[in-house]
Chain A
């Protein structure tokens, strides 16, 4: 059974304190791995798509990397506005259906 696990469930950082979020996956065939950001009361907002091991994507203070078994979302010198829940998802079929992890809730304190 395809499965996505994110860790930690919650993370508290001081402003400027860099860290990483983990997404481990077990799937029959990976077509893509996706990172989304979700703010309270909102739908998930697309951040990155990664397709093959070794691939990296960057956006402002965020950098996503992919291996054959896991992905990391690195947050460099975070700011309070980076506080949100970060969701990882995998696509295993050509329908676009996503399998999500449970998310990591990040809180950045000033």
Chain B
């Protein structure tokens, strides 16, 4: 597609539930990044994929968070046993082989845990 697509754009879930957030990167972009942005803050790195593999998952806050990219294109961020502190905007970005110039962000998924 023309840009990075994230679905859903908004998600409200109850505390303790499981959620999946989807990211469709720009076609041909091999690098994919997930960030989390809390209100009034800058984005915070979560995980980086190069192709199908997670090359850097140092930003995942705990083992409730997991991400996959099985075919090297679409990625899913999975959050188990959601907590109210997980409420934030989850941003996805993609680029060609990690090149910053082509680092394009999606509009994000706003997750609210009630």
Contacts and interface: CB of A to CB of B under 8 A. Distances in A.
Q: Do A and B bind each other?
A: yes
Contact of B48 (A4, A87, A97, A99): A97
A46 B3 CA distance: 13
B7 to A, nearest CB: 14
A94 interface: yes
Given A95-B55, A102-B42, A46 B31 contact: no
Interface string B23-44: 0000000010100000011111
Contacts of B56: 93, 95, 97
A89 interface: yes
A102 B104 CA distance: 19
B91 interface: yes
A85 B25 CA distance: 24
Interface residues of A, number: 25
A97 B56 CA distance: 9
A101 B100 CA distance: 17
Contacts of A87: 42-43
B9 to A, nearest CB: 9
B44 A41 contact: no
B106 interface: yes
Interface of A: 4, 6, 32, 34, 41-46, 49, 87, 89, 91, 93-103
